[in-house]
Amino acid sequence: MRRSEERILTTHVGSLIRPKAIRDILAARQNGVAVDEAYHRSVLTGSVAEIARRQAETGIDVISDGEFGKSISWSQYVLERLSGFERRPVAPGAADPFARGLDRERFPGFYAELDAQDQAQGRFDGGGGARYESVCVAPIAYTGHDALERDIGNFKAALAKVDVADGFLPVAAPASAIPDRRNEYYESDEALVFAIADAMRVEYRTIAEAGLLVQIDDARAAVTYDRMVPPATLRDFRKWLGLHMEALNRALDGIPPDRVRYHVCWGSWPGPHTSDAPGGANYLILGRFFSRILQPGNKICNRSSPAATATGRTQCPEPTLPTPV
């Protein structure tokens, strides 16, 4: 990973406005209309090349593919790359799996209007008005190899035509992949989380091995505080967070830390945000994430490894940290 040694390198968090041609394709798919795959691939290839060029011309040093290859959303795209999940219509009158949180309780009128707008525009990613819920009904495995290789290929071809410092592909963290999912297969929700992490590990490693930076998108790591507290407590949130950070660190094991970026935020929905987690929660999240780098016994700092024993080294090398964005 290039560092800001001679000047401050510029970047962003990944997602960019999709061209109309891509939006039209996604809308057609959501409405059950068949889309010519060759045409879709052609549009994606050209759109990624164009957005890479525009980022470079703007002066962005570390660029993304705009997330153009993802359908549904930044987190729900995983539904098309993992087996084991079933989409079910939300029964009339049943509790909306997305419509939870203290902010919604405080401002019901605002969110009713927002949900109606989202429903009219076909957006269903973390707000209310959901038409379907995602239920785990079978073993989870990674099945998105073709789509992933397509996205990597498009982006690397685009990178070859521009002068930038580096390129990254955003991916969903285990906590954020298919949010508000329901478990009907694994013996516990904890087992489900680690199954998702083990499957997503394929995506993380494939991107890193292709020479690209892996950006872990994890808005749910912070947003879940609003969904839990109250009635849960900050201690409950910390326990939930610890589980998901452990799963994420397991999924990243073996990937050089300096090839990883970590993006956590409060969520981007246009709401009041009066019940976001306390400011210190972000430090807690980052501390949990970076612990895999700084803990004795990991692959970077292991005083008892054969190499350390043979050389008599007693000091750990300076860690190379992932980059928070």
Q: Which residues are 62's β-sheet partners?
A: 166
SS3 47: helix
CA dist., res. 206 & res. 150, Å (int): 12
Tokens of 111: 């969110």
CA dist., res. 209 & res. 215, Å (int): 14
CA dist., res. 116 & res. 114, Å (int): 5
pLDDT at 282: 61
pLDDT per residue as tens digits for the range 243-295:
999 999 999 999 999 999 999 887 667 888 888 877 666 666 666 666 554 44
pLDDT at 322: 58
SS3 64: strand
CA dist., res. 38 & res. 270, Å (int): 36
pLDDT at 91: 76
Sign of torsion over alpha carbons 125, 127, 133, 138: positive
pLDDT per residue as tens digits for the range 9-32:
999 999 999 999 999 998 898 888
Asked if 154 and 44 count as a contact pair (C-beta separation under 8 A), the reply is yes
- The one-letter amino acid code at 134 reads S
Q: Look-up: residue for tokens 């076909």?
A: 122
pLDDT per residue as tens digits for the range 195-244:
999 999 999 999 999 999 999 999 888 888 888 888 898 889 989 999 99
Q: End-to-end distance of the chain based on CA atoms, in angstroms?
A: 14
CA dist., res. 107 & res. 91, Å (int): 24
CA dist., res. 37 & res. 315, Å (int): 55
Q: What are phi and psi of 199, to 5 degrees?
A: -70, -45
* All domains in the chain, ordered by first residue: 20-74+147-324 (3.20.20.210)
pLDDT per residue as tens digits for the range 90-136:
877 777 767 778 888 999 999 889 888 876 665 555 555 557 889 99
pLDDT at 281: 63
Q: Look-up: residue for tokens 């498009």?
A: 154
Strand 166-172 vs strand 182-183: parallel, antiparallel, or unpaired?
A: unpaired
Q: Residue 75 above 60 pLDDT?
A: yes
pLDDT per residue as tens digits for the range 287-323:
666 655 444 444 433 333 333 333 343 344 444 445 6
pLDDT per residue as tens digits for the range 149-159:
999 999 999 99
